Chains A and B, each alone.
Chain A
Amino acid sequence: MSEFAFLNGNEAVAWGVRLSRPHVIAAYPITPQTKAVEKLSSFVQNGEMDCKYLHVESEHSAMACSIGSSSVGARTFTATSSQGLLYMSEGLPYASGARLPIVMMNANRSIATPWNIYGDQMDAMHVLNSGWVQLFVEDAQEALDMVIQSFKLAENHDILTPVMINVDGFVLTHTYEKVEIPGQELVDSFLPAIEKAPHLMNDQDPMSLCISAGNQHYMEFKIKQHRDMFKVFEQLESIDRDFEKSFGRSHGGAAAGYRNEDADVILVTTGSVTGTARVVVDSLREQGIKAGLVKLRLLRPFPSDDLFELIGKAGAVGILDKNISFGFEGTVYTNVNSSLLQKGYRGRTFNFIAGLGGRDITKENIEEMFSALLEQKGETVQYFNMGCAL
């Protein structure tokens, strides 16, 4: 039977992992992810999970162990954040290139220096090209549910791609919410035991894993990997439909609109700030302003078709980035702008950079973003909640 509990995002992720029954967890603690792996560690210690928990000496080792265990067909989970993600980044393309269905929680946090432990999405953007599915969640319930869905997605034999679930540091990881914990039997029937893929290590059919391929063959491997990633859109939607049938909750596909159908101006968000933006959209609508919202759930693969469908008719679009690509613009903006351009979008696009290093993104900030969109004023790239003049 499912039950309700008062959990923070880290604990919600830990519960999602526990219910998914992984064989192996290899993780190294780092703020703000620590509580998630502490909780998992205690689940294993108390015998509440039948799982091998590897206390590794670093994030690089955490990814190496995850690659090893996933290579023999074990359901594998790891979690990290920020500098830890960067330290394990060498292993990330190995996991995706070898088509290993590892699931990872990344507690989004800023990158040093200056040293800062608070939330922004700079870490995820650093590894956007690592070949992992990149998913962003809005609240603790979505975090728990997406752990279960992500194992099903990653382990699908058409996909076989590792999934990174991005959970905003502190705003989600350390904030308590009412969360529904589904019953174990229900999860077991939704997510059966992992079905070992034929390309994994197998003593009956020995193969070389992670072979080298020269200039005559490498490119075909990479284009195959690239094209297989697009299959995620359809699978994610189908998994979410099944999830709704079993659990009565749906989180949608790659992108989700909110009051966007007739909107003149639309804000595109990723992660927890979507919740704040919903409140602002509601209050603007009460004033008769046609404001809308599009929540991007996937950054890789990137949902160009969905996005154009959701945004196409709006006169101006603002993309909220909790990251910056130094010397250019926000990375989400680059992606959205490129795909809208390809689809022939004719409205103006703006890039709103905010929330770096845990700086608050207030309702007032989001109202300012919408007024910039309505008046189509100012620079293309704008900074919000700055403490001083530019």
Chain B
Amino acid sequence: MKDFKMSPRPLWKSLSDVPMGSSCSSFHICDTNAAWRVFRPVMDYSLCIGCHQCYLLCPDGAIHKEDAKVFRIDYDFCKGCGICANQCKPGAISMVKEDQV
């Protein structure tokens, strides 16, 4: 289930399109989460104050800033660690078990 996608998968027509020396923008070539996440963070936008804490502290950069106060979680790459929910002061993020979403 895809909510938000930052960058498309790279299209490589030949080896000259492959980045040199495994250096490239993040979100470029990691594989999507293969449904092993146990809890997923769910946002309540009515409580979000736009403090950026979730956006800054997500260890996988899976939270994107869409607008000044709209942060979206990319569930293709979120591993469900819960750091965002733990850091969210107004309690706008809750961790919900995958089979109860």
Binding site for B on A (CB under 8 A): 97-100, 160, 197-200, 207-217, 220-221, 223-224, 227
A197 adjacent to B22 (CB under 8 Å): no
Q: Are A211 and B20 in contact (CB under 8 A)?
A: no
A215 to chain B: which residues have CB within 8 Å? 31
CA distance in complex: A217, B22 (Å): 10
Tell me if B46 counts as interface (CB < 8 A to partner A). Answer: no
Q: What residues on A are CB-neighbors of B8 within 8 Å?
A: none
- 16 extra A-B contacts, CB within 8 A, seeds A197-B20, A199-B23, A211-B22: A99-B22, A100-B21, A198-B20, A208-B25, A208-B26, A209-B23, A211-B23, A211-B26, A211-B29, A213-B29, A216-B29, A217-B29, A220-B12, A221-B18, A223-B15, A224-B18
Closest to A213 in B: B29
The answer to whether B22 touches A160 (Cβ under 8 A) is no
What secondary structure prevails in chain A residues at the interface with B?
Answer: loop
Residues of A within 8 A of B26 (CB): 208, 211
B23 and A208 contact, CB distance less than 8 A: yes
Instruction: For the complex formed, measure the closest distance between the CB of B57 and the CB atoms of chain A, giving whole angstroms.
Output: 18
Which of A198, A209, A216 sits near B22, CB closer than 8 Å?
A: A209
Q: Which residue of B lies closest to A209 (CB)?
A: B23
Instruction: List, in ascending order, chain B residues with CB within 8 A of A211's CB.
Output: 22-24, 26, 28-30
Can you offer 30 A-B residue contacts whose CB atoms are under 8 A?
A: A98-B21, A99-B21, A100-B21, A160-B20, A198-B20, A199-B20, A199-B21, A200-B21, A208-B24, A208-B26, A209-B21, A209-B23, A210-B22, A211-B28, A211-B29, A212-B30, A213-B29, A213-B30, A214-B29, A214-B30, A214-B31, A215-B31, A216-B29, A217-B10, A217-B29, A220-B15, A220-B18, A221-B22, A223-B15, A224-B18
Across-interface contacts of B25 in A (CB, < 8 A): 207-208
Contact partners of B29 in chain A: CB under 8 A: 211, 213-214, 216-217
| B15 close to A160 (CB less than 8 A) | no
User: In chain B between 73 and 97, which residues have their CB closer than 8 angstroms to a CB of chain A?
Assistant: none
- CB distance A99 to B20 under 8 Å? yes
User: Across chains A and B, which 8 residue pairs bring their CB atoms closest together, nearest first?
Assistant: A99-B21, A214-B31, A199-B20, A199-B23, A217-B29, A224-B15, A199-B21, A208-B26
B31 and A216 form a contact (CB under 8 A): yes
Over the window 37-68 of chain B, the binary record of Cβ atoms lying under 8 Å from chain A Cβ atoms (1 yes, 0 no) is: 00000000000000000000000000000000
CA distance A209 to B30 in the complex (A): 13
Question: Which of B12, B19, B30 has the most chain A CB within a 10 Å cutoff?
Answer: B19
Q: Which residue of B lies closest to A216 (CB)?
A: B31
Which residues on A sit within 8 Å (CB–CB) of B10? 217
Contacts A220-B12, A227-B15: A160 and B21 contacting too (C-beta < 8 A)?
A: yes
CA separation between A197 and B21, bound complex, in Å?
10
Docked pose: A213 CA to B26 CA in angstroms: 11
Which residues of B are found within 8 Å of A207, using beta-carbon distances? 23-25
Residue of B whose beta carbon sits closest to that of A211: B22
Distance, CA A76 to CA B12, complexed state (A): 32
Q: How far is the CB of B76 from chain A (nearest CB, A)?
A: 13
In the complex, which residues of chain B have a beta carbon less than 8 angstroms from the beta carbon of A200? 21, 23
- Shortest CB-to-CB span from B14 to chain A, Å, is 10
Q: Who on chain A is nearest to B15 by CB?
A: A224
- B21: A residues at CB distance < 8 A: 97-100, 160, 197, 199-200, 209
- Residues in A neighbouring B19, C-beta threshold 8 A: 199, 221
Chain A residues within an 8 Å CB radius of B20: 99, 160, 197-199
Closest to B9 in A: A216
Measured in the bound complex, the distance between the Cα atoms of B19 and A160 in whole Å is 13
Q: How far is the CB of B50 from chain A (nearest CB, A)?
A: 24
- Tell me which residues across on chain B come within 8 A of A220, comparing CB atoms: 12, 15, 18
List chain A residues, Cβ under 8 A from B22: 97-99, 209-211, 213, 221
Chain B contacts for A160, CB-based, 8 A: 20-21
A200 to B28, CA, bound (A): 17
Q: How far, in whole Å, are A220 and B28 apart by their CA atoms in the complex?
A: 14
Q: Which residues of A contact B18 (CB under 8 A)?
A: 220-221, 224
Cα A199 to Cα B30 with chains together (Å) = 18
Residue on B nearest A94 in the bound complex, by CB: B22
A263 CB to nearest chain B CB (Å) = 40
- With a cutoff of 8 Å between Cβ atoms, the chain B residues found around residue A197 in the complex are 20-21
A201: nearest residue on chain B (CB-CB)? Answer: B23
**Which B residues are in CB contact (< 8 Å) with A208?**
23-26, 28
Kindly list chain B residues whose C-beta atoms are within 8 Å of the C-beta of A210: 22-23
Contacts of A221 in B (CB 8 A): 18-19, 22
